[in-house]
Amino acid sequence: MTATLAEREAALAEIAEGIRKCTRCELHRTRTNAVPGEGPADARIMLIGEAPGWNEDKQGRPFVGAAGKFLEELLAKAGLTRDQVFITNIVKSRPPGNRDPLPDEIAACIPWLERQIEVIDPDVIVTLGRFSMAQWFPGERISRIHGQPKRVGRRLIVPMYHPAAALHQQSLKATILDDFAKLPRILAEAEAARREEEASDEPPPSQMAMF
Ligand code: URA
């Protein structure tokens, strides 16, 4: 049975509470705040970055620094605002000095992300950067597959460059802007697939008449 919006909000709040108290990896010792993520519980698009940076750790919110500002510009390119999408990270606590997250930190944190995906059930997941990309495209290179959606079940997973990479490398800026401009078409395709699946799940009219 499909959960109501209120039930999904409550489930997400419970997950966020678990993340804030989580001690499954060593990052809990050095973080100021864990960063569960934010956005509507019924968002159709979920964006998954790498890990909180300095600003995110201080505020407990994802993508609030320079990369976040650019992410808002990218979303605008797709006709979206940040309050329409769910934004989170593969690792919910800041690695010291913004180093790359370690494999055991990712492994410890991934069950939180899996629960968030289950509750939100988005039509489209956008991975930002190589760490979230690797969950769905192991061994792939972002330079080869960026902007190309892959179907997983009825969901579309779209690998994108990390906004911070484009901030530091001007040549990537046009590429990532073009990739985000494709999002409305990708979302429409994923929504159509969901509607088709939902329609095929409904019992045929003759069977419905029996009840
Ligand atoms: N970079 C990320 O990957 N995530 C954030 O939340 C901020 C910067």
All structural domains of the chain with their residue ranges? 5-195
Residue 48: which region, alpha, beta or left (left: phi > 0; alpha: psi -120 to 50)? beta
Tell me the C-alpha distance between 160 and 179, whole Å: 7
Q: How far is the CA of 152 from the centre of ligand 1 (A)?
A: 24
CA of 51 to the centre of ligand 1 (A): 5
Closest ligand 1 atom to 62 CA: 6
C-alpha to C-alpha distance for 164 and 129, rounded to whole angstroms: 9
For ligand 1, say whether the CB of 62 is within 6 Å of any of its atoms.
Answer: yes
For residue 197, the model assigns a pLDDT of: 84
Radius of gyration of the CA atoms of the chain, in A: 18
- CA of 96 from ligand 1 middle (Å) equals 13
pLDDT of residue 211: 38
| Nearest ligand 1 atom to alpha carbon 163 | 1
* CA pair distance 17, 66, nearest whole angstrom: 26
pTM assigned to the model: 0.93
The pLDDT assigned to 123 comes to 97
- Position 64 scores a pLDDT of 97
Q: Contact at 8 Å (CB) between 89 and 22?
A: no
CA quadruple 93, 101, 37, 17: dihedral sign: negative
| Class (C level, CATH) for 5-195 | alpha beta
Q: Residue 80: its pLDDT value, please?
A: 97
Q: Which residues of the chain have pLDDT under 50?
A: 208-211
